[in-house]
Amino acid sequence: MSNDHLILTPNLDAPDDFYEALLDAHQGLSIEESQAFNARLVLVLANHIGALPVLREALEAARA
């Protein structure tokens, strides 16, 4: 995957379906388990993106 910049415009095929799947993935988890799940998910997606400059843009965008 070689995109040089973070995509900030809508880019999900089915955003509502993803949101529902994300909520479902958290069902039955404690707060601590949910936070650990989120951390693992971030690392999995960061690995998929792979480009540190894009990841830095994402970090900045998330803090804004």
Q: What is the 3-state secondary structure (H, E, C) of the chain?
A: CCCCCCCCCCCCCCHHHHHHHHHHHHCCCCHHHHHHHHHHHHHHHHHHHCCHHHHHHHHHHHHC
Q: What is the rounded average pLDDT of the residues 30-59?
A: 97
Q: What is the rounded average pLDDT of the residues 19-43?
A: 98
Mean per-residue pLDDT of the chain: 95
Q: Which two tokens stand for residue 30?
A: 């404690």
Place of tokens 């509502």: 16
What's the pTM?
Answer: 0.86
